[in-house]
Amino acid sequence: MYQGAALGADTDAVGEVVFNTGMTGYQEVLTDPSYAGQIVLFTYPLIGNYGINDDDFESASVKPVGIVVKEACVTPSNWRSKWSLDAFMKERRVPGIQGVDTRAITKHIRSGGVAMGMITDRDPEEAMRDLLAARTYDETDFVEQVSTRAPYAWSYAGMERIDEPGGEHRLRLAVLDCGVKYNILRRFAALGCRSIVLPHTTTADEVLAWEPDGVLFSPGPGDPARLPHVVETARGLFGKLPIFGICLGNQILCQALGGSTFKLKFGHRGANHPVQDLESGKVTITSQNHGYAVDPSSLDGANAAITQLNVNDGTVEGIRALDFEARSIQYHPEAAPGPWDSRPYFVEFVAKMEAMKR
């Protein structure tokens, strides 16, 4: 048990406790759908320095159930700032705690692995009974919670109704929304793509009915093994048009090609994760957010080649299909790591769509 001071909304939070090592980007973390159902601990000691603004949201709502910080900045300084961290969390009804030993909690997670936790001001024994009785993170389908309920479009002007013309664009990209981040859609828009964002339950035939030039399987939260319907959609699209997967999308494509996944002890979340491209030898500095990884041995004999590996622990960071155009990466190229090390993957995929355009 760790005691601290209240931060944000005066409510309880129960979720899987994970840590993020980024020094900046807390607003993006707070609105990243991949953090649904989790309590995020920030290892950097001072969070909220530049406040919260109107421009840097990655989704329409806060996705973590709570946050843990050493110290929350009371007087943020930035010309775009609209809220302090505390004020924003209060407005969005998100609880947090500050003044705790975040280094000690991080070391505990690194040695023991991620576990369920609770933020509360209730009696500790009563709270512990409720925590032990709570549903675990792995038992919940969080993709169902964060995926769009109806199709929408994203073009140069941002989010649009699906029936709007969308202005001039060279390519149409279908996005299977398992928890897509807005900046992924922004990057594709900057490269001339109009994205058609579809619910995660969309079938392969329904995707093809939109006549896209390519398909993206997005990032998202939770256990990839809980998504057989999305895996089946991927299989139904293989060989019909170019496919790209990011993070959870990488795991989905690997399952569709015959692979399997496993849960990491404490995951990869934050900045400065080095990844080596086995085809070029280049090392890319990446931003990551995932708690599961692809089992490399499960791809033996599969119709796939491992193209990238994590330099720190050797986990799979990218694959490509051998007989048709489908590639994926485990990290987040839209998150400006490096800061632009992995932007070329967007460009390369758009070039594939253009080359194969009907």
User: Model confidence over 29-44: pLDDT tens digits?
Assistant: 999 999 999 999 999 9
Return d(Cα 270, Cα 21) in angstroms, integer: 5
User: Do 132 and 154 have their domain in common?
Assistant: no
Q: What would the pLDDT profile of 215-267 be if each residue is shown by its tens digit?
A: 999 999 999 999 999 999 999 999 999 999 999 999 999 999 999 999 999 99
CA distances (Å), 151 to each of 142, 160, 177, 297, in order?
19, 10, 9, 37
**247 among known catalytic residues:** yes
Contacts by residues 340-345 (CB-CB < 8 Å, ≥ 24 positions apart) = 341/284, 341/285, 341/286, 342/284, 342/286, 343/187, 345/244
Mean pLDDT, range 324-330, rounded to an integer: 97
User: Do 64 and 168 have their domain in common?
Assistant: no
Backbone angles phi, psi at 130, to 5 degrees: -70, -35
Question: Which is the catalytic residue, given 169, 268, 290, 332?
Answer: 332
Of 117-126, 133-142, 159-168, the poorest mean pLDDT is in 159-168
User: Do 183 and 332 have their domain in common?
Assistant: yes
Question: In this predicted structure, what is the pLDDT of residue 336?
Answer: 80
DSSP count for the chain of H helices, then E strands: 10, 19
Question: In this predicted structure, what is the pLDDT of residue 327?
Answer: 97
Q: What would the pLDDT profile of 60-76 be if each residue is shown by its tens digit?
A: 999 999 999 999 999 99
Residue after which a domain boundary falls, among 85, 117, 140:
140
Q: Which two tokens mark 309? A: 């590996």
Question: In this predicted structure, what is the pLDDT of residue 165?
Answer: 75
User: Do 88 and 169 have their domain in common?
Assistant: no
Question: In this predicted structure, what is the pLDDT of residue 8?
Answer: 97
User: Do 207 and 330 have their domain in common?
Assistant: yes
Return d(Cα 23, Cα 20) in angstroms, integer: 9
User: Do 78 and 199 have their domain in common?
Assistant: no
What are the residues whose beta carbons fall under 8 Å from the beta carbon of 155, sequence distance 6 or more? 166, 167, 169, 189, 194, 195
Return the amino acid letter for 25.
G
CATH of the domain at 58: 3.50.30.20
Residue after which a domain boundary falls, among 86, 116, 140:
140
Question: Which is the catalytic residue, given 169, 247, 268, 290?
Answer: 247
User: Do 109 and 124 have their domain in common?
Assistant: yes
Mean pLDDT, range 175-203, rounded to an integer: 97
Mean pLDDT, range 1-15, rounded to an integer: 96
Question: In this predicted structure, what is the pLDDT of residue 168?
Answer: 77
DSSP per residue, 100-148: S-HHHHHHHHHHH--EEEEE-SS-HHHHHHHHHHSPPGGGS-HHHHHS-
User: Do 116 and 168 have their domain in common?
Assistant: no
Domain that holds residue 348: 143-356
Find out whether 169 and 214 touch, Cβ atoms under 8 Å.
no
User: Do 18 and 148 have their domain in common?
Assistant: no
Return d(Cα 78, Cα 291) in angstroms, integer: 32
CATH of the domain at 306: 3.40.50.880
Q: Which two tokens mark 85? A: 């961290």
User: Do 89 and 227 have their domain in common?
Assistant: no
Q: How confident is the model at residue 22 (pLDDT cuts 50, 70, 90)?
A: very high
Strands 115-119 and 158-160: unpaired
Return d(Cα 235, Cα 227) in angstroms, integer: 13
Mean pLDDT, range 169-175, rounded to an integer: 95
Find out whether 23 and 44 touch, Cβ atoms under 8 Å.
yes
Question: In this predicted structure, what is the pLDDT of residue 45?
Answer: 96
pTM: 0.95
Q: Does position 130 have pLDDT exceeding 70, yes or no? A: yes
User: Do 17 and 136 have their domain in common?
Assistant: yes
Question: Which is the catalytic residue, given 16, 58, 325, 334?
Answer: 334
Going by C-alpha positions, the residue among 182, 181, 191 that lies closest to residue 347 is 191
Question: In this predicted structure, what is the pLDDT of residue 358?
Answer: 62
Mean pLDDT, range 309-329, rounded to an integer: 97
Question: In this predicted structure, what is the pLDDT of residue 210?
Answer: 96
User: Do 159 and 66 have their domain in common?
Assistant: no
**290 among known catalytic residues:** no
Rounded (to 5) percent helix, strand, coil in the chain: 30, 30, 40
Total number of domains constituting the chain? 2
Q: Does position 129 have pLDDT exceeding 90, yes or no? A: yes
Helix or strand run (H / E) with residue 151: none
Helix or strand run (H / E) with residue 26: helix 26-30
Question: Between helices 344-356 and 182-190, what is the axis angle to 10°?
Answer: 60
Task: Please report, to the nearest 10 degrees, the dihedral formed by the alpha carbons of residues 28, 32, 37, 39 taken in order.
Answer: -20
**332 among known catalytic residues:** yes
The residues pairing with 268 across neighbouring beta strands, listed in sequence order, are: 290
Q: How confident is the model at residue 157 (pLDDT cuts 50, 70, 90)?
A: confident
Question: In this predicted structure, what is the pLDDT of residue 183?
Answer: 95
DSSP per residue, 184-237: HHHHHHHTTEEEEEEETT--HHHHHHT--SEEEE---SS-GGG-HHHHHHHHHH
Residue after which a domain boundary falls, among 109, 140, 171:
140
